[in-house]
Amino acid sequence: MKSLLKFITCGSVDDGKSTLIGHMLYEAKLLFADQERALELDSKLGSRGGKIDYSLLLDGLLAEREQGITIDVAYRYFTTDHRSFIVADTPGHEEYTRNMAVGASFADLAIILVDAKKGVITQTKRHTRICALMGIKHLVLAVNKMDLVGFDPKIFNAIQQEFLQLTAEFHFDSIQVIPVSATEGDNITKKSPNSPWYEGLALLPYLENVDVHQNDNTKQFMMPIQRVCRPDHTFRGFQGQIEAGRIAVGDELTTLPSHEKAKVKRILVGDQDRDYAYTGQPVTIQLDREVDVSRGCVFTKDSQIQEADSFSATILWMDDSVLTPGKNYLVKVGTKVLPGTVTAIKHKIEINTGKTVPTDHIVKNELATCEFSLSDSIVIDSFEQNKSIGGFILIDRVTNMTSACGVIEQVLQSSDLSVQLDTEITRDVRAQQKGQNPLTLWFTGSLSDQSALAKEVEKRLVSTGHHTMLLGNGQGKSLQSLAEVAKLMNDAGLIALVSSDSLNGNDQEAAREIIGKEYFEVYVAGSSSTTNIPGNPEIVVDLSKSTTEEAANVVVKRIIKYLINESSVGQFLNF
């Protein structure tokens, strides 16, 4: 049986990716007669003056042909006497980086094209980093358009040296650099006489012989469950693709996360019974007893696989919106989907140098290292150890679009830890979740009046979507305790409203010191209020001259700008 190689072509706009693969298919006689004839006819209307435009074999969209660029991923299947292939021709434009990442996610090898006249450019570096991120271990650098530089070996060697320096940090298993001309066919299917100084194989022979398949059958068995199959009451099978290892009838499996054990009663590949199955095969497994298994669970013979609810990861951000800590998404790991939150952005990765840059946000097409917290524990591992449960995507909960793809670098918290670690989930993260700046409104003055006003202000805030907590002395708390609880509420991203019977300015200064910059005092004057106002309240309302509802409007008007903007208390007091 022929082995299968899945590969992608990538590089910058107009580097000749589609032309390269089209020429390969044409020259190797891998087209049907009608395809070949259609290509020749379409080329007469193309941009090459009637010469064959090999890119038309892959650029099928009207917009692609009009602009002369690749927009969507184009897949082609072909086979030679030595091997079968699936190729994904991916876009080169930065706007379509997400499409390139989609193609890279399925590939074993990447052909990265560069224009011999331009050399290694920013998009080359971006695509190389994305290939490494997606776990591709084998690269071919095709230095294209060598015919336009006279097949100068000095130019080729300079590009080769720069690319090898770029890739040194990624530890690829193999890198082959080949001089080619996609339009003229040099070194595509056979060695070209125009580059006698090149001693390696032509592109197609190299692809036919390169070894990209690791022996995953030596690893411990692992299979995420994609579907529970129950055609009738007599059969219950669990379907999925074996991601690592080998399984045989009679083997004992552990189901995660329930940790129940059962033996394999039957293995089906398609509709055929098998005594065993191995990595890469889609199977249906029937167990000898009923266990708690559903989509997203994992079968394994290795009890060391981790379960956790937080991890750090490197991601490619693909959304038009800006990513900031505190945003919620659906996180899909393997076959499991559950809610999760971006708790911290550690740094972004500079495309040209690979250096890390501290940041609190990332924008489209940037690479960054982030930390995530999930709503529940999930079976995960580092991408380096296990691709199927080490890679993930973020899904926008409103649009259902994929916002990012990423790889897990480190599991931060196992589910069996008794103490929850929360050092990275800051006040700002929680505030971002709630869409507001936290604040403590401390009401002083006439106790009966301030209590009524605090309740009315809370109603107004809640009705406009804000998150609040009402506190008071009636709950058996000292002033210091109230201040500490209010600060805790602010740390949780909440607006705390405190109704206190404190009568002197020293008490309020003590509360202000505990709470910090979020403290905001509202003094309520009324029929029983003292003439002299203690302390330095930010606002004074007189309920002998206005209703509670009118006073509540005044308070809300004064604080609303702070709640929705990144301004300080001092700034919003001056409007």
Give the catalytic positions in this structure.
Answer: 502
Q: Which two tokens stand for residue 253?
A: 């499996």
DSSP-derived 3-state class of residue 54: helix
Return d(Cα 108, Cα 3) in angstroms, integer.
Answer: 12
Return d(Cα 45, Cα 562) in angstroms, integer.
Answer: 62
Half-sphere exposure at residue 2, Cβ-oriented, CA atoms within 13 angstroms: 14
Q: Pick left, alpha or beta for residue 149 (phi over 0 → left; psi -120 to 50 → alpha; otherwise beta).
A: alpha
Cα–Cα distances (Å) from 408 to 102, 115, 223, 372, in that order, read 17, 34, 18, 10
Return d(Cα 488, Cα 541) in angstroms, integer.
Answer: 27
Supply the DSSP string of 456-504, one letter for each residue.
Answer: HHHHHHHHTT--EEEEEGGGS--HHHHHHHHHHHHHTT-EEEEE----S
According to DSSP, the residues that pair with 443 across neighbouring strands are 499, 522
CB contact set of 544 (below 8 Å; sequence gap of 6+): 525, 526, 527
- 372 closest CA partner among 396, 399, 394: 394
Cα–Cα distances (Å) from 64 to 12, 33, 463, in that order, read 15, 24, 50
Q: Which residue has the tokens 């390169």?
A: 210
Q: Which residue has the tokens 């379907």?
A: 239
Contact 221, 247 (CB under 8 A): yes
| Angle between helix 122-133 and helix 97-104 axes, rounded to 10 deg | 40
Q: Counting every residue, how long is the chain?
A: 575
Supply the DSSP string of 292-304, one letter for each residue.
Answer: ---TT-EEES-TT
CB contact set of 55 (below 8 Å; sequence gap of 6+): 16, 18, 19, 22, 68, 70
CB contact set of 216 (below 8 Å; sequence gap of 6+): 243, 244, 245, 279, 280
Return d(Cα 354, Cα 464) in angstroms, integer.
Answer: 44
The secondary structure element, H or E, covering residue 203 is helix 203-209
